Chain A
Amino acid sequence: MKILSVTTSLSEDSSTLKLADRILSAAAAAGEEQGWTVETDHVNIRTLTTSLTDMTLTGFRSEELEEAFAKVAEADAIVTVTPVYKVAPVGVHTLFWQLIDDKALAGTPVLIGATGGTPRHSLAADSMLRPVLSYLKGLVVPTSVFAATDDWGSAEGGRSLGGRIRQAAEELVALTVSMRGLAVTEAGHASDAEADHATGAEAGHATGAEAGGFSVTEAGRPGARSRRGVDDEFDPELITPFAQLLQG
């Protein structure tokens, strides 16, 4: 299971990065507890800021941006954490999600995190980022995690933050597992390679003949196929034949 953090950390060691790391390790722990091998990875939007404004102005993507978009398309789950400025996610964070291909996030579970100076910013990401991610057909988990200065400063705040992180991370993992339509095998382990194999040519055999093994079907993974390879529109085997365009 690949979990990707798409986070805007504006300084080297920001509280936003700390929150993203804590959420990632909580999600990895929740996944591993269920027998999954979890890989985590980071995209820091700060390093893409120039590319994002260039793309806004010229329409083209730098290689770095292409790579980041591809990572999102390949991830099984996303954690996205942003600092809040004036009761809104910082602009470059939102811009990343506004510029990504429409299909890149479709069907992927997403966990929203945010940081701010005071608890009065707490619903900022929920009210502004959640609609953007929903528009992209990302599956945003019900619990999002907001951390204010108070949460880092006191033991009580820290305990409460830890609880929220665990709750949200468990939701993310549960949703990811159900989206992938994969039951964990009796051996207690399922890897991505096996999952992909089972959805290939022998899927019928693997699911039909071995009851109690994989319960994978193509239908069990809505969106999973369609979002793979955002550039498929240039595949000569997949494009709409002109005669069809001509019929209107």
Chain B
Amino acid sequence: MELGIFTIGDVTTDPTNGTTVSEHQRIKNTVELAKKAEEVGLDVFATGQHHNPPFVAPANPPILLANIAAQTQTLRLSTATTLITTTDPVRIAEDYSYAQHLSEGRISLIMGRGNTGPVYPWFGKDIRSGIPLAVENYNLLYRLWRERNLDWEGRFRTPLGGFTVTPWPLDDVPPFVWHGSIRSPEIAEQAAYYGDGFFHNNIFWPTSHTARMVQLYRQRYEYYGHGAARQAIVGLGGQVFMRKNSQDAVREFRPYFDNAPVYGHGPSLEDFSTQTPLTVGSPQQVIERTLSFREWAGDYQRQLFLIDHAGLPQKTVLEQLDLLGEEVIPVLRKEFAKNRPADVPDAPTHESLVARHRAGRDPIPGGGEGSRAHADRLAREAEAETGVNRK
């Protein structure tokens, strides 16, 4: 189980005192946050990718992650998410294999589409093609990291002739990829097809909905023969604010909640806490809520918390990290390990992926021999064959 934090890097005015940090300060704060995450014993730091205010810090994740990699030793670094729709797959392939080398394999990616229409044309794309872009671009990225001298032609970018990514992925093994989506079944299907991970941000929607997405991914993962449904690689987000005393947490967090970008001025803190996984309270409450995710998501591999948004002061955010490190993470590690079946894999690491690759056990996209997907394909081909013979 990987436990960590993810940030969307928003520059939001602190509603309690009207101060706004500069972009420069926000970026420096984000680096400080990541370093502290390692110090207090978290496994992962993940950053979003955004190109529109108020989300400033994550405009360029590979640069941010490389900088953090240089200042940390063991912290795993991830995106949450990489815009697979509007970022050139060739750029993604080179940036992240470079970051993978610099970080000694501590890089992974979560793919996302981005839901802000006007951003797409800034990068020459169209939001109406969101899903087809995610499908084609990821397929290209997948091949770029695995095929040298690639010849490629598609709908959304100029063709490639004899292209080889530089630098080539570390130890011939690309960074692990998760696919993130809040409500598109196509993306759960995409993750299952490739045998990649599926990540749900688990922030804005009720768990009943998130559970259905996770369930769909797990069933399709099994269908494509990458393992049993319970062995699929699932990641979840979550949002917490903690104080030793839960009333203090609620009192302190309420103005930030009420004015937060995205959901501010909407539902009450109480309603949102009931309807979504948001937990504002004591560390013990956060532990209980987080452990309950396993009841509907199954044993999973990655848990990321959002702790640094909506204008919360850096000092407060660092205190949240202390609480996570001292009181929450050690208990979660112990409890998540209990009753976890031995055949449910841990979160993939560079080392585990290298071992898998060398053993010839890389997932086969679309399902290899012995999978239901493979059997269905053969049956369809046989049916088509019979049709031809009849003619």
A interacts with B: yes
A153 within 8 A of B: no
Given known contacts A241-B189, A245-B135, A248-B155, is B220 in contact with A60 (CB within 8 Å)? no
Give the segment of A31-39, A105-113, A154-162, A231-239 that binds chain B.
Answer: A231-239
Give the segment of A51-59, A78-86, A89-97, A191-199 that binds chain B.
Answer: A51-59
Cβ-defined contact, A58 with B190, below 8 A: no
Identify which of residues 318-362 in chain B touch chain A, using a CB-to-CB cut-off of 8 Å: none
A47 within 8 A of B: no
Using Cβ atoms and an 8 Å threshold, which residues of chain B touch A61?
A: 206
Identify which of residues 151-184 in chain A touch chain B, using a CB-to-CB cut-off of 8 Å: none
Cβ-defined contact, A243 with B136, below 8 A: no
Cβ proximity bits B259-283 to A, threshold 8 Å, 1 near / 0 not: 0001101110001100110000000
Within the complex, which residue of B135, B209, B216 is in contact with A239, where a contact is CB–CB below 8 Å? B216
Number of interface residues of B (CB under 8 A): 33
A11 within 8 A of B: no
Cβ-defined contact, A248 with B263, below 8 A: no
Cβ-defined contact, A231 with B271, below 8 A: no
Separation of A61 and B206 alpha carbons in the complex (Å): 8
B205 within 8 A of A: yes
Separation of A239 and B192 alpha carbons in the complex (Å): 12
Within the complex, which residue of A50, A231, A245, A248 is in contact with B189, where a contact is CB–CB below 8 Å? A245
Using Cβ atoms and an 8 Å threshold, which residues of chain B touch A239?
A: 185-186, 189, 216, 220
Using Cβ atoms and an 8 Å threshold, which residues of chain A touch B213?
A: 234
Identify which of residues 113-158 in chain B touch chain A, using a CB-to-CB cut-off of 8 Å: 131-132, 135-136, 139, 155
Within the complex, which residue of B135, B212, B215, B271 is in contact with A54, where a contact is CB–CB below 8 Å? B271
Cβ-defined contact, A242 with B275, below 8 A: no
Using Cβ atoms and an 8 Å threshold, which residues of chain B touch A242?
A: 135, 186, 189-190, 192-193, 366
Given known contacts A234-B212, A236-B219, is B267 in contact with A245 (CB within 8 Å)? no
Cβ-defined contact, A234 with B216, below 8 A: yes
Within the complex, which residue of B132, B135, B136, B223 is in contact with A236, where a contact is CB–CB below 8 Å? B223
- A168 CB to nearest chain B CB (Å): 37
Closest residue of chain B to A242 (Cβ to Cβ) is: B193
A185 within 8 A of B: no
Closest residue of chain A to B184 (Cβ to Cβ) is: A233
- B224 CB to nearest chain A CB (Å): 8
- A129 CB to nearest chain B CB (Å): 26
A246 within 8 A of B: yes
Identify which of residues 265-308 in chain B touch chain A, using a CB-to-CB cut-off of 8 Å: 265-267, 271-272, 275-276
Number of interface residues of A (CB under 8 A): 23
Cβ-defined contact, B263 with A58, below 8 A: yes
Within the complex, which residue of B186, B204, B265 is in contact with A60, where a contact is CB–CB below 8 Å? B204
A62 within 8 A of B: yes
Closest residue of chain A to B190 (Cβ to Cβ) is: A242
Cβ-defined contact, B185 with A233, below 8 A: yes
Cβ proximity bits B154-166 to A, threshold 8 Å, 1 near / 0 not: 0100000000000
- B120 CB to nearest chain A CB (Å): 18
Within the complex, which residue of B136, B186, B190, B220 is in contact with A248, where a contact is CB–CB below 8 Å? B136
Cβ-defined contact, B220 with A236, below 8 A: yes
Separation of A63 and B155 alpha carbons in the complex (Å): 41
Closest residue of chain A to B139 (Cβ to Cβ) is: A246
Cβ-defined contact, B275 with A62, below 8 A: yes
Separation of A239 and B189 alpha carbons in the complex (Å): 8
Using Cβ atoms and an 8 Å threshold, which residues of chain B touch A243?
A: 193, 366
Cβ-defined contact, A58 with B204, below 8 A: yes
Within the complex, which residue of B135, B262, B366 is in contact with A58, where a contact is CB–CB below 8 Å? B262
Using Cβ atoms and an 8 Å threshold, which residues of chain A touch B209?
A: 60
Cβ-defined contact, A245 with B131, below 8 A: yes
23 interchain pairs (CB within 8 A)?
A54-B266, A57-B263, A57-B267, A58-B204, A59-B205, A60-B206, A60-B209, A60-B275, A62-B275, A63-B206, A234-B212, A234-B213, A236-B220, A239-B189, A239-B220, A240-B189, A242-B135, A242-B186, A242-B190, A242-B366, A243-B193, A246-B139, A248-B132
A: which residues have CB within 8 A of B? 50, 53-54, 57-63, 231, 233-236, 239-243, 245-246, 248
Known: A62-B271, A242-B189. 4 other contacts (CB 8 A): A53-B266, A57-B263, A58-B272, A242-B190
